[in-house]
Amino acid sequence: MNLTRFEVVNHRGRRVPRVLGCWLAPAAVAGAILGATVLPAPAFQWGALAGALMVFGAGLVDDLSPIGPRGVRNHLRELAAGRMTTGILKLIVTVASAILVTALLEPTGGLSSIAAVVVIAGCTNVWNGLDVRPGRALKGFLLVMGVSVAARLRFDVGSAAGAWIASWVALPMDLRERAMLGDAGANLLGFTVGVQLAATLPPSALLPAAIVAIALNVVADTLTFSRVIAAIPPIRWFDQVGRLPD
């Protein structure tokens, strides 16, 4: 298989294929199907899987397209100038997928439902911003999902279980710079985290979570996560665990 079209130059100047998302997506599907054989799967579960595959597909289109503007602000500037970008396509698909999943959740009220959409869409874009250093997005996903599951002793989304297990397999390849998530894989992970949070947080916590998601996106679009991580020793240590020396 020719992976040249998937390759991108990473932070070290190496050409690395962005193909790990193509491993995570089938694992998410398998997790949802296997989970449904053990426990009844409500419509929300299948909606979450459909949404994850939609944002995965939008990210894959971006991965296969020529490199364009970076950051939400720059994509919005392009749209204001009458130019459609793959980043705007991702934004539209992400928001639509978040609305779909939120509509299938138990009714929480107007403001809480809006906050849930913001949490899901915001997390999707946050993980996109994390995938600029080896292992960063995967380690963040494994940590957040691990804490969430430990608190409730279960995955609230069947597809999340498959993605979580597959992430452990993908992590060594990412850390050793043999492959990357790309937008497709990062979108899938971030969307899965957002859905897990929207499904598990009480309605009173959704608005604060949405504010945090917005704040993290602002940081990613201005200061960048790399600068913030480098300035906080414990987070910097966790970020560098398993990575090749710079």
Domain ranges across the chain: 13-240
More confident residue, 66 or 50: 50
pLDDT reported for residue 72: 61
Task: Name the token pair of 47.
Answer: 């909606």
Q: What is the mean pLDDT of the chain?
A: 88
Give 145-198 pLDDT, tens digit per residue: 999 888 876 777 788 999 999 999 999 999 999 999 999 999 999 999 999 999
Q: What is the pTM of this model?
A: 0.91
Give 78-135 pLDDT, tens digit per residue: 656 666 677 788 889 999 999 999 998 876 668 899 999 999 999 999 999 999 999 9
* Half-sphere exposure in the Cβ direction for 96 (13 Å, CA): 11
pLDDT at 2 over 60: no
Give 218-232 pLDDT, tens digit per residue: 999 888 999 999 999
SS3 15: strand
**133 secondary structure, DSSP code:** S
Give CA torsion, residues 232, 179, 216, 99, to 10 deg.
-160
* Strand intervals (E) in the chain: 7-9, 15-17
